[in-house]
Structure 1
Amino acid sequence: MTDKNVPSPLRDRCIGMTTPEAIRQFETEGYFIIPDALSTAGIAALKAEFDSLPMRPSFYTDAPSFSVTPPHVHGPEGASLIGNPPVLDFVRALVGDELVFMHSFYILSHPGSPPLEMHTDYQPYGSTYSQWLESCPLRVRVLYYLDDTRDDRAALRIVPRSHICWHADAQPYRRYKAHPEEVMLPLKAGDAFVFATRLFHGVGPNTTDETRGMVEIDYRPLWARPYGPVPDWSPEELRHVPPALLPMVERRNRTDFAWEFDTKRLAVDTPAPGMAPSRWGA
């Protein structure tokens, strides 16, 4: 068992990284951790708001573990989390300034919850489960932990570097009970785990008598629209979203490019630092 007061070395390795170092960590390993992305007061406010959030069972447990209503629809605390500065600043440095918010979930792991198999959150051809929502060619997912995790309390399990694997073993629709090189990653309340949706990940069992809460938020760059249409949010569903965040939230299908073109299309004359080798630093 991992002592709850002993931080994960992988977590602590991310502390103090420069932005280029953080981008390299994400692009090579598939994730970056932002410790203390939420304050103690912020966690308390989210938990208080979520007390009235309706929950439903999931496909892997009969316990009420997934929110029926997205947190940003339910109240202002969940909606404001979309624009949390330390996380949003990193995501924009990683994929560009023009972001589209795709969805949010509140997820609970109750005492006795079984492990969740290793899987990806990328479904390039859609699925009967999420339709086109997870088909975007590039997305960044953020997990905000509202409680400490340990290896006996629904800790995250990941296979580092699996997001860049070209082998058929990493085809995104495959699921694994376990992987011999997976890593258990205990995190603290307030931490944000930012990861590539092609990264294989799962969750350990919760054998404690404590419930673990987590908020999931999903972003994509403007160009990477889903391969098929997804429902846009209604005005009623956007009532809690701060006005400054509405351009990023209100239209989930929008994009900024034309896919019909010929080989004579005009090239742009910009330095494109986002794809320069120096994005990792010297």
Structure 2
Amino acid sequence: MNLRNDETFQKIEDEISINNGLMKDAWIVYKGQKWFPVIVNDRTTGVSGFEVNLSGKWGANSEVGRKKFPLADFLMGISSGIFPAKAALRCKRLDDAQRNGRNIDEIQFTPRLKELISRIRESEMMTRAPMTDVSLIQTAVSISGLDSLDVNEINRIADDSTGSMSTVGESADLQGSDLQGYEHDQEMRSTVELYAEFIARKYYVSQGFDVRKLGKPFDFLCEKDGKVIHVEVKGSRTKLDSVILTINEVYDAENTEWQSDLFIVDQIVVERKGDVLVAGGGVARIMEKWVPAKEMLTPSQFRYRLPDHSKWKVLK
């Protein structure tokens, strides 16, 4: 699907231009008033687009995490669900010039924009169409659970012809992981994790699900015709016979109010091509209606509550 050739997209884009960057086809209700997304121009860099703060914070001291998206990339981000629920979208009211961040998870659409987003999802633009802009993949990096990852220094590119995922950044050791598949190198770990999520999201989209990225306490929320699935994704370069789960991941999967799936992509092949890590291949498997059996869980960490002060010898 080429958005540039889509009549609805063209009309919305033209109207945004006429309305000085304001998108009237989407809004967020805050304290009973509608706030509309607005294009923001960066005077320093000259970059313009709809501004999303991935950290969810706003104000003068919350520059980290802000990204500006052209209309096409913004709609692809909405349709694919890669914006975290906590993200804030810069908006304004019709009767006020003030611009503030509003919770993107509460965004609503006109029928024509809702229909356009539905068609974008159906065409799987995020997995099949070539990307000329890496901003969406940078967004995916920033919400991959690695709080220390510097998204200003790392770019990711989805290769539509091979199904691989590439990473540009600092050098990484390409050798090995431990028995449970944990990667100690941050760049390698994020490459493997994002590739596994890429494969999992593509699978559920192909099954007709709306897929939204959450990250915690599970990776993807998948919905179709009233059916809800919580998907936990694990990836590794090794062949896995065990995975590491957080206590919240276990609690969520044990809850029978919804279906949980465990999606594994292991034996992923990662190669370095110059400054780029390229992930591909791998063996994907899924355990549907997954409930972690108690006998299959092994404690790997304990929380120790410190005794009261009378038990301690304080050093001067």
TM bracket (short chain): under 0.3
TM-score (norm 1): 0.27
Greater fraction of residues in strand: 2
Larger radius of gyration: 2
